Amino acid sequence: MTSDRSYAVCIDLTAEVRVSIGKACGERDHVDLRGSTNQSCAEANNLSSRLWSGCTSTASAVRKGVDMTYDELMQLVYGSTKDDWTFSDERGIYTLKKDLNVRIHRKDIDPDSDRFTGEDWATKHRDPTAYRETYEIHYGASFVKGVMMVSVDGGRATLPLPDPKTLKVTQEDYSFAKIVDQLDNLDDYMERSGLEVEG
């Protein structure tokens, strides 16, 4: 894993720094770490300690990534609220505040290939234009799951995809739609569209 390799490199570099500081401080009172400004041995040792602490944090993150299962990740995502995420509209990326490894990527809409037609609930609005909108759940560098939503009324709302016969939406899809509901109009548009949450 890349994270494991990064941790190993971090440990190796920190060890080299600490050995170099030890040798230098044994010979003189000051060590030039940047080639121009001398720092005391105490300051240099403090720097190496901070590097070592950073490696320890990296190790914890690596272990956490290894321990995270698919079911745990899904529970973490679907059990969250919109306030649990940061969002960059420019990048189309949602990041979970309490675990920065968890991200949702909103894919760009292709006006031609993503056009959504043939289902009245999606095209009955003032603007009948509707598009498929794909969101991808990622953990670290890994793609985990894709979730398809539908942008309706010319982009004024994003709705979960219902069962075409019953127009029922699963609780998971509804929870996900609440996360990406940037205009806070999900419930209003679900009612207009005749969509209901299962159970």
pLDDT at residue 199 in the model: 85
pLDDT greater at residue 10 or residue 85: 85
pTM higher than 0.75, yes or no?
no
pLDDT at residue 128 in the model: 97
Residue % of the chain over a pLDDT of 90? 65
Mean predicted confidence (pLDDT) in 175-179: 98
> Token pair of 97, please?
């505040």
In the predicted model, is pLDDT for residue 197 greater than 80? yes
In the predicted model, is pLDDT for residue 52 greater than 70? no
pLDDT digits (tens, 9 = 90+) for 118-150: 999 999 999 999 999 999 999 999 999 999 999
b or e along 103-135 (b: 16 or more beta carbons within 10 Å of the residue's beta carbon)?
bbebeebeeeebebeeeebbbebeeebbbbbeb
- Confidence class of residue 93 from pLDDT cuts 50, 70 and 90? very high
Alpha-carbon torsion angle 39, 42, 43, 48, nearest 10: 120
Q: Looking at this protein, which amino acid is placed at residue 124?
A: K
pLDDT digits (tens, 9 = 90+) for 53-77: 554 444 444 444 457 899 999 999 9
